[in-house]
Amino acid sequence: MNPDHTPLGIFERYLSVWVGLGIIAGVGLGTLLPEIFQLIAGLEYANVNLVVAVFIWVMIYPMMVNVDLTSLKDVGRRPKGLCITLVVNWLIKPFTMAALGILFFEVVFEGLVDPATAREYIAGMILLGVAPCTAMVFVWSQLVRGDANYTLVQVSINDVIMVFAFAPLAALLLGVTDVFVPWETLLLSVVLYVVAPLFAGYVTRRLLQGSEGRLERFSVGVKPFAVVGLIATVVLLFGLQAGTILEQPGVILLIAVPLLIQSYGVFALAYGWAYLWRVPFATAAPAALIGTSNFFELAVAVAIGLFGLNSGAALATVVGVLVEVPVMLSLVAVANAAFALAYAHRRMDLIPDHNPDYGFADDSAVVRAVLMDNERMFESYAPRQHLDWASITLKP
Q: Give CA–CA dist 341/363, Å, rounded.
A: 8
Kindly state whether residue 381 falls inside one of the protein's structural domains: no
Residue 258 CA to residue 265 CA, distance in Å, equals 10
Mean pLDDT of the chain: 77
Asked if residue 117 belongs to a domain, the reply is yes
Has residue 373 been placed in a domain?
no
pLDDT of residue 323: 85
Residue 145 lies in a domain: yes
pTM: 0.69
> For residues 380, 384, 385 and 389, what is the CA-based torsion angle, rounded to 10 degrees?
40
What pLDDT does 343 receive? 54
In a domain, 255, yes or no: yes
Q: What are the pLDDT digits (tens) for 197-246?
A: 878 888 998 888 777 678 878 877 887 787 788 788 778 878 887 887 88
Does the residue 375 lie in any domain?
Answer: no
Kindly provide the b/e burial profile for residues 293-320, where b requires at least 16 CB atoms within 10 angstroms of the residue's own CB: bbbbbbbbbbbbbbbeeebbbbbbbbbb
**361 has a pLDDT exceeding 60:** no
pLDDT value of residue 356 = 46
Predicted local distance difference test score (pLDDT) of residue 389: 44
Count of structural domains within the chain: 1
297-351 confidence digits (pLDDT tens): 678 777 876 776 567 888 888 788 778 878 888 898 888 887 766 655 554 444 4
Q: What is the rounded CA–CA span in Å between residue 85 and residue 64?
A: 20
User: Looking at residue 176, what is its pLDDT?
Assistant: 65
Residue 23 predicted with pLDDT over 60: yes
Task: Please tell me the distance from the alpha carbon of residue 386 to that of residue 396, in angstroms, as a whole number.
Answer: 21
Task: Dump pLDDT digits (tens) for 154-164.
Answer: 887 887 788 78
> In this predicted structure, what is the pLDDT of residue 362?
53
As a whole number of angstroms, the distance between CA 118 and CA 130 comes to 19
Domain of 13, CATH number, reads: 1.20.1530.20
Tell me if 374 is assigned to some domain: no
**How many residues appear in the chain?**
396
CA-nearest of 292, 299, 278 to 92 is: 292
- Specify the pLDDT at position 98: 93
Sequence-ordered list of residues with C-beta below 8 angstroms from that of 9, at least 6 positions apart, any chain = 3
What is the domain extent for residue 74?
3-345
Whether the predicted pLDDT of 283 surpasses 80? yes
Question: Is residue 370 one of the residues assigned to a domain?
Answer: no
Report H helices in the chain.
7-13, 15-32, 34-41, 50-64, 79-87, 93-103, 115-129, 137-143, 148-174, 183-190, 196-208, 214-240, 242-247, 249-276, 281-292, 296-307, 312-345, 361-381
DSSP 17-63: HHHHHHHHHHHHHHHH-HHHHHHHHT-EETTEEHHHHHHHHHHHHHH
Percent of the chain past pLDDT 90, that is, above it, reads 17
Q: Is 132 helix (H, G, I), strand (E, B) or coil?
A: strand
